[in-house]
Amino acid sequence: MSKTKSKTTVTRRKSGRQPSDRELVVVLDFGAQYGQLIARRVRECRVYCEILPFDTPVKKLLALRPKGIIFSGGPASVYEKNAPVCDPAIFEAGIPILGICYGMQLMGKMLGGKVVSAAKREFGKTELSVLSDADLFAGLNPQLICWMSHGDRVTKAPPGFVTLARTRTSPIAAMGDPKRKLFGVQFHPEVIHTPWGIETFRNFLYQQCGCQGLWTMASVAEQAAAAIRKEVGKKRVICALSGGVDSCATAAIVHRAIGDKLTCIFVDHGFLRKNEAKQVVRTFKDNFRANLVFRDASKRFLKRLEGVTDPEEKRIRIGNEFVSVFEEEAKKIGRVSYLAQGTLYPDVIESGTRTAAGIKSHHNVAGLPERMKLKLIEPLRSLFKDEVRALAEEVGLPAAIAWRQPFPGPGLAIRILGEITKERLDMLREADAVALDEIRKAGLYRNLFQSFAVLAPSLRSVGVMGDQRTYAYTVILRAVTGDDAMTADWARLPSEVLERISNRIINEVRGINRVVYDISSKPPATIEWE
């Protein structure tokens, strides 16, 4: 939430981390652009999947008892110096392996095949001719469209391998050794541009690895609650509730596990959306009857931001003030041993794997004081965002929270360009509520990654309302599509929806006479304006 000098002294616990030891598939990451997407596709087949570094020792892999291993793609060439390689003993471990792109080329080279730089590279949609309708391609058509992205290719398959598919420029676009259950594909089955790719994974997982699809959100919730119950015992847990799906799902699971030994602290800093605080309080008091401390600190936060216009300074001040308020409320509870928080699997990957190093640092509890010596409980630590939403519904959270779009910690404070005042907050809160209401009515809310309004106080313009001249504020609409916050494209909202939003904001929110639509993608722009 903020950049502060203090850090929480915590011990990380793996509560809820290992849903099932019977059906685990490991993705070895060779620096793939789509590494996380591979894991998500496997999980869509109801098989639990984790991502580990490419050089994970065989001994460690065997200790996990995986049903299968998938080699990801990667940017390197297998014949380059210092190209990433796996432990060669993996091929003798008797575990089914699927190599994708670089993973197939690595398999080919390490097992005695030949890999060269292709005279004609393949990028984009490509026609694939299937030569064997067994194994990976069982139940699929002989002519398919796949997504290619490579400059190298396997020109000679290793001993024991047969060619399973080819393209016009790649004579070996897929290969396999069915006896040893080793397979490789040059294309990317994990991307949506290979529409039947999920079937490739399903054939590998169910036919070659012997998986049954035991991993469900019901099993995740049950096992996470059991692990928390065993870990916590009679001790007490606090959870910082924000109203977002991550913190709400975390609180719901922990409450299922330990009941009234959990206390949620919900700090309203005054920058939430319309009626958001009431909705969260009602959900947890009525649906779960959980211990909930609600603190309305909006006046205090607003005073802290008087005269502040710099976006980073806003974030820092809001973060520091949150720490102070949270600590005050935590002290009133008494002796507490654990802090529950909504760390997700992408946070773990991006801060913990060798190949993903440098993407970002993960500080979910940034700023909590050192004297609060708490152990961490992270029941969502193994899940992606879409899985968290499914889990939230599984544990009884209403759809309004389970499918709530991401909302920044500083809230509306960074959606007002410049200084924050109560008048501007009220104005933006109403305009934002109108925009979301129309987007929901149009059935578009779940199709958008984020959608919101921004107030630009410095953009005042002349208008005419009721035959009178106005000089009022401008509201900027922002709506983007995407799977995560790393990249996003501006949403092509129907013109009639934009028209309704504009008409209602101008008519219903006093002080606004102009509405504009942001058509910038990320990159080069960011999703938020500050």
**Residue 371 structure tokens:** 């004297």
Which residue of the set 45, 49, 86, 101 is catalytic? 101
Rounded to an integer, what distance in angstroms lies between the CA atom of residue 105 and that of residue 118? Answer: 12
Which residue of the set 188, 248, 269, 394 is catalytic? 188
**Contact between 285 and 410 (Cβ < 8 Å):** no
Neighbouring-strand partners of residue 52: 28
Active site residue 188: yes
3-state secondary structure 443-510: CCHHHCCEEEEEEEEEEEEEEEECCEEEEEEEEEEEEEECCCCCCEEECCCCHHHHHHHHHHHHHHCC
Which residue of the set 190, 350, 430, 438 is catalytic? 190
| Residue position matching structure tokens 């892999």 | 61
Contacts of 199 (CB under 8 A, 6+ apart): 139, 140
Rounded to an integer, what distance in angstroms lies between the CA atom of residue 383 and that of residue 346? Answer: 8
For residue 21, give Cα distances in angstroms to 90, 254, 459.
19, 22, 58
Contacts of 188 (CB under 8 A, 6+ apart): 34, 73, 100, 101, 146, 147, 148, 149, 194, 197
**DSSP structural state of residue 312:** H
Residue 154: HSE in the Cβ half-sphere, 13 Å Cα cutoff: 35
**Contact between 292 and 326 (Cβ < 8 Å):** no
Rounded to an integer, what distance in angstroms lies between the CA atom of residue 323 and that of residue 3? Answer: 11
Active site residue 264: no
Between strands 48-53 and 68-71, the pairing is unpaired
Rounded to an integer, what distance in angstroms lies between the CA atom of residue 40 and that of residue 382? Answer: 11
State phi, psi for 177 to the nearest 5 degrees: -120, 85
Phi-psi region of 388 (alpha: psi -120 to 50; beta: other; left: phi over 0): alpha
**Residue 69 structure tokens:** 């291993």
Between strands 162-166 and 114-130, the pairing is antiparallel
3-state secondary structure of 119: strand
Contacts of 381 (CB under 8 A, 6+ apart): 14, 15, 16, 17, 343, 344, 345, 348
Catalytic residues: 101, 188, 190
